[in-house]
Amino acid sequence: MTGKNMKNDIVNKKDLKQLVIRFYGKLREDKILGHFFNHVTPVNWNEHIKMMYGFWENVLFFTGDYSGDPMRKHVAIHKKHPFSLSDFTHWNKLFIETVDEMYKGENAEIIKQRAQSISTIMQIKLFK
């Protein structure tokens, strides 16, 4: 960072960890989406956060360090308590806001675009 209010780009795993911690912390407390994590399918936060590090690192840097099946997990949650289109809109809004609060640059833009793409694919598959 060169100036007081200048933001760096996302350049490494450390940056992604900070993003993941802040974003999923917001989700956990969110009035619209928090119940999915806290009640519908309660998660072990330490394990979930570690898994999300690998997921987002793979999304941005193609590390190959993630081997989960997020679609299968979201289908199972959707069967328990259906997602709405507005849930996805809200998730996207929170993700973009969090990235913008913390980072600025090419990778910050790429991760926002990829998050939107993933969200769109999930919506298509869930609401077909």
Burial 104-127 (b: 16+ CB within 10 A, else e): eeebbeebbeebeebbeebeeebe
Model pTM score? 0.91
Residue for token pair 């979930």: 48
The domains found in the chain, sorted by start residue, are 13-126 (1.10.490.10)
pLDDT of the residue at 97? 98
51-102 pLDDT, tens digit each? 999 999 999 999 998 888 999 999 999 999 999 999 999 999 999 999 999 9
- Alpha-carbon Rg of the chain, whole angstroms? 15
Task: Please report the DSSP string for 58-117 in residue order.
Answer: HHHH--------HHHHHHHHHHHS---HHHHHHHHHHHHHHHHHH--SHHHHHHHHHHHH
Going 62 to 2 to 21 to 106, the CA torsion angle's sign is negative
pLDDT of the residue at 4? 60
* pLDDT reading at 1 higher than 70: no
Tokens matching residue 9: 């780009």
22-49 pLDDT, tens digit each? 999 999 999 999 988 888 877 788 888 9
